[in-house]
Amino acid sequence: MIWENYGYPLYEVEERRDFREMLDKTCEIYGEEKSFFEKNKDDIYEGITFNQFRENMRNLSDGIFALNLKERDHIALMGKNSRAWATSYYSITASNFVVIPIDRELKDMEIDRIVSISKPKAIFCDSAFIRLFLELSLKYDFIKFIISLDQKASSFNSNSKIMLYDMEQILDKGKEVRKNGNSIYDKVIINPDLETSILFTSGATGTPKGVMLTQHSICNNIYGMRKLIWIDNTKYFLSVLPLHHAYECTCGFLCQVHAGSRILYVQSLKKLADNIKEGKATNINVVPLLLETLAKRVKENLTHSLFTRIYYHAGNGIGAFFDFISGKENGRKVRRTIFKPVHNAFGGKLDLFISGGAAVKPEISKFLRSLGFRVLQGYGISECSPFLAANRDRFFKDDSAGMPLPEHDFEFFDVDEEGVGEIAVKGKSVMLGYYNDPEATKAAFHDGYFLTGDYGYLDNQGFIHIKGRKKNVIVTRNGKNIYPEDIEVLYDNSSTIQEIIVMEMVEKETNNETICAYIYPNFDNLEKILNKPKDSIKDEDLLPLIRAEIKENNQKISAFKRIHYFSISYDEFEKTTTKKIIRMNIDKNMKKYPVYI
């Protein structure tokens, strides 16, 4: 099923064949406009033009060829979000090498696994990881070169036989090659249907899988995304989420090259608010946790006194009135005027949050929208480049993942009695497969459709609603499906529970299957409720509060979905770099307490 009715016409966007054409076309139109802004030594945002970026990219590309690397060789890339990271990625892929982006927050053992599987001949990385890769080069003789993204090579003392360079040295090599008319880059012909990037899962357990994406799949993904959401050269995107991840790489870097948008690199999460203001960012790609943190800070400032509460509710009421009499777009302008002090705190330009990675609580979106911000939720998966659905600028539902990616065929397999099935997709954005893993690739497809592993349904207006991950679904003995996420969402606004994961367990005495919740309490609130510091809070203090809340929420759901046991953790649950709780790492041996005694 290819969806066709998107509420209002899709935006007109030009397709691009590959990354080279994408950058060349942008340089034709916006070549002298600046992007890729990062802080200079004076702590001021400084950018370069798209033409300068292309020139640097070409020089770096010929510098890489000068190391005697050949087309299709693998090159790893690992570091913080930066202009150097972006230039390296573009140079590698536009030169017909294959890039291996690596998560800089992985443990050494996990990085070792990815390197052993992908066999990169060269590695571009931040100086913080030079020592690690020097050690790995002694273990793996296929590593020939290490290039520092942010420090001079001379600052490292190494007894290794590996060739160690810095970015400046490789750029200078390339400049000399191009000056002498010996460019290899200029002669390279890109085949957009070959893998250009291999994105690895974290590999926390077992062998990581490498998702093979092509330039064709990524360019088509950007094309579809821009048809749904208006993005142009006037937008300033603050790059916050890690660039190694498909979400930020496609939606926060390559999409901006396609559109001629401006990119600002965040210094750190601690400086997020400052960087939004200093860079006058208009757009931010976020994950729910980051959005909730921002919304919480704003809400605290608007509710800390009687005056601010009256100000917020009166302003929201006036905004609602203008929504009704002149339309929501005019109402939004009124809200931005009423709540100008809030907007000024973020530089006065911040307009749109695009959230992905997990579901946003609808009340968070509604609150930020009441202030005149826009919030759009999307859905994707690395294997699909990654964008698969999004709410539109003027046609959205806060409780949905959005509308299907245009020109892609969506199906729902194994649909249950409630109309929920596994989301499957066929189209140009879908990966080639998993690197050197034909069995996993075969298992990921059915009748030509990629199986996302997510359960959901499509409503009659064309919005996709996600119910949960296939691997998380609990199937009862009488065949009913329990989606843990449906239970967990009941605790989103809890004052006593900060994090909750619902899983199946078997009672030892009866051997019956039942539901258990693993809980990390909200100690910030509990310290106030119990009038004691976290270090002094014990299980016996928490049990009555947690039991009462679970009992209350159990009354809201069917009997077979109710929580009957729970465990308490005094440490936050381990998360991915996109702030999702890693369910498989939950300690299931924690002490269990019955809800009903």
Residue among 283, 271, 263, 236 nearest 43 (CA) = 271
**Cα distance between residue 183 and residue 308, in whole Å:** 63
Burial grade of 375 (CB within 10 A; 0-12, 13-18, 19 or more) = buried
Say which CATH number the domain at 534 has.
Answer: 3.30.300.30
CATH number assigned to the domain comprising residue 119: 3.40.50.980
**Whole-number Å distance between alpha carbons of 596 and 565:** 8
256 in a structural domain: no
Position 13 in a domain? no
- The residue assigned the tokens 């329990």 is 482
Q: Does 451 share its domain with 306? A: yes
Residue 478: the pLDDT is 66
Cα torsion angle, 548, 553, 556, 557, sign: negative
pLDDT at 448 over 70: yes
Confidence at 127, pLDDT banded by 50, 70, 90: very high
What single DSSP character describes residue 575?
Answer: B
- Give yes or no: residues 358 and 212 share one domain: no
Q: Are 499 and 519 in contact (CB under 8 A)?
A: yes
What is the C-alpha separation between 256 and 81, in angstroms, rounded?
15
Q: Evaluate whether 387 touches 380 at the Cβ level (below 8 Å).
A: yes
Residue 305 lies in a domain: yes
Q: Is residue 395 included in any domain, yes or no?
A: yes
529 shares a domain with 466: no
CATH value at residue 412: 3.40.50.12780
Token match 């139109």: residue? Answer: 29
Q: Angle at CA 553, nearest 5°, toward 549 and 555?
A: 125
pLDDT the model gives residue 233: 97
Q: In this structure, is the dihedral angle defined by the CA atoms of residues 51, 56, 60 and 62, taken in order, positive or negative? A: positive
Using 50, 70 and 90 to split pLDDT, how confident is the model at 205? very low
Q: What is the pLDDT averaged over residues 560-582?
A: 89
Is position 241 within any domain? no
Average pLDDT of the residues in 232-257: 97
| Mean pLDDT score, 135-152 | 93
From 456, 471, 486, the end of a domain falls on 471
**Structural domain span for residue 331:** 287-471
Q: What does the pLDDT read at residue 180?
A: 95
pLDDT of residue 566: 96
Q: Which residues make Cβ contacts (< 8 Å) with residue 467, sequence separation at least 6?
A: 420, 454, 455, 456, 457, 483, 485, 486
Domain match, 396 and 529 both: no
The model's confidence at residue 203, banded by pLDDT at 50, 70 and 90, is very low
167 lies in some domain: yes
Asked if residue 436 and residue 490 are part of one domain, the reply reads no
**Domain co-membership, 327 together with 186:** no
pLDDT at 206: 56
In this structure, the answer to whether residues 381 and 433 fall within a common structural domain is yes
Contact between 27 and 43 (Cβ < 8 Å) = no
Looking at 471, 494, 525, which one is the last position of a domain? 471
- Among residues 446, 429, 455, which one has the least CA distance to residue 211? 429
- Residue 351 shares a structural domain with residue 460: yes
Tell me, yes or no, whether 432 and 547 share the same domain. no
Residues 426, 571 within the same domain: no
pLDDT value for 520: 97
For the stretch 291-329, pLDDT in tens is 999 999 999 999 989 999 999 999 999 999 999 999 989
Per the structure block, which two tokens stand in for 356?
Answer: 């992905």
Residues 460, 316 share a domain: yes
What is the per-residue pLDDT across 16-69, written as a single tens digit (0 to 9) for each? 999 999 999 999 999 999 999 999 999 999 999 999 999 999 999 999 999 999
* Range 407-414 average pLDDT: 96
Q: In this structure, is residue 481 part of a structural domain?
A: yes
CA 96 – CA 195 distance, rounded (Å): 9
Max Cα distance, the chain (Å): 83
Same domain, 466 and 501: no
Q: Contact at 8 Å (CB) between 76 and 123?
A: yes
Mean pLDDT of the chain: 93
Number of domains in the chain: 3
DSSP H helices, 199-281, are 215-228, 246-249, 255-259, 272-279
Q: Considering only CA atoms, which of 488, 254, 247, 489 is closest in space to residue 387?
A: 247
State which amino acid sits at residue 360. Answer: V
* 4 within some domain: no
Amino acid in the structure at residue 172:
D
Tell me whether residue 299 is exposed, middle or buried, using C-beta atoms within 10 angstroms of its C-beta: 0 to 12, 13 to 18, 19 or more: middle
For residue 25, what is the enclosing H or E element? helix 19-30
Domain final residue pick, 471, 499, 520: 471
Cα 222 to Cα 287, 449, 459, 533, 538: the distances in Å are 19, 20, 25, 49, 51
Among the residue ranges 110-124, 149-163, 403-417, 500-514, the one predicted with the least confidence is 149-163
- Are 591 and 567 spatial neighbours (Cβ–Cβ below 8 Å)? yes
The token duo for 120 is 């990169």
pLDDT band (50, 70, 90) for residue 157: low
- The stretch 412-425 carries a mean pLDDT of 92
Grade residue 158 by pLDDT with cuts at 50, 70 and 90.
low
Is the per-residue pLDDT at 584 higher than 90? no
Q: Which residues does 327 contact at the CB level (< 8 Å), separation at least 6?
A: none
